[in-house]
Amino acid sequence: MLAGMKTIRQLTVESLAHMAAQGSPRAVVDESARAILREWMLHPRKAAEPAPPAPAPPVQPKSAAAEMGVEEKLAYLRERALHWKPALALGTLREKMVFATGDPHARLMLVGEAPGYDEERLGEPFVGRAGQKLNQVLAAMGLERGAVYISNICKWRPAMGPQQGMANRPPTAEEIAACVQLVLAEIRAIRPQCIVCLGGTAAKGLLGVENASVGSLRGKWHDCQGVPVRVTYHPSYLLRNESLSARRAVWEDMLAAMEALGMPVSEKQRRYFLPS
């Protein structure tokens, strides 16, 4: 860009600031400005570009973006995901995009790994055996599946070649890196009060930890974009390991999430999966 030439983003900021200087409490934002603000949602680092000097207390474009409803933001992100070049360019993920499910206004967000055979077929996260286990955990918390927001770090089923059949594999570090911006943007749109990472792959993506085990990450709070995060074992781990101690470990992580959400916890719930 030539020195002194303003970007469209800078012009948008200036025009919003001008409206503020005129005393306008609200900004009327046309479709092209909305597109710029949507870009902002997806790539907040670009938003950190120096803003031009403002003639009055600047109207933060963020507040105009915040005026978009969460449903509108998610619809936009779903559309972006359908054509998400970083994932498509890898050539290692299958074609069908499986976005997310649940309540966009949920206070609790769950993040899993990637769709498997059943999720790809039905176009919804956690609808196979792991999903049934997850529904049981949610029911024990007193929550219906539709009351939470459920997403995955990777929105495509990782490919395994022509003989794949019903087999699934976890996404690689490269695949996680190609997809993680989408789920980070979902978090910024939803602003849940608490996130639970279901398994180490989700933790790797959201917390940027490379080789940490779930055992070393669980039992404490982490942070993702200002939202408290708990890490627990993936529901499919509970399908393989039905021991009381594995179930109790997941349950303690869920109890911590319930407390963070201010949900009532009964004495009976507190003692679930403790040896009698």
**3-class secondary structure, 177:** helix
Residues lying near ligand URA in the complex (CB under 6 A): 112-116, 119, 125-126, 130, 152
Using the minimum distance from each CB to ligand URA, give the nearer residue, 17 or 114. Answer: 114
Alpha helix ranges (H) inside 114-172: 117-122, 129-141
- Minimal distance, residue 146 CB to ligand URA, in Å: 16
* DSSP state, residue 4: T
Using the minimum distance from each CB to ligand URA, give the nearer residue, 102 or 115. Answer: 115
Using the minimum distance from each CB to ligand URA, give the nearer residue, 9 or 234. Answer: 234
Q: Identify each DSSP E strand in the chain by its residue range.
A: 93-97, 101-102, 108-112, 149-152, 156-158, 194-198, 222-224, 227-232
Using the minimum distance from each CB to ligand URA, give the nearer residue, 102 or 112. Answer: 112
- Minimal distance, residue 195 CB to ligand URA, in Å: 14
Q: Distance (Å, rounded) from C-alpha 272 to C-alpha 130?
A: 20
**3-class secondary structure, 204:** helix
- Minimal distance, residue 27 CB to ligand URA, in Å: 38
- Minimal distance, residue 206 CB to ligand URA, in Å: 13
Using the minimum distance from each CB to ligand URA, give the nearer residue, 59 or 130. Answer: 130
The secondary structure of 22-76 as a DSSP string is TT-SS----HHHHHHHHHHHH-HHHHTSPPPPPSSSPPPHHHHHHTS-HHHHHHH
- Minimal distance, residue 51 CB to ligand URA, in Å: 40
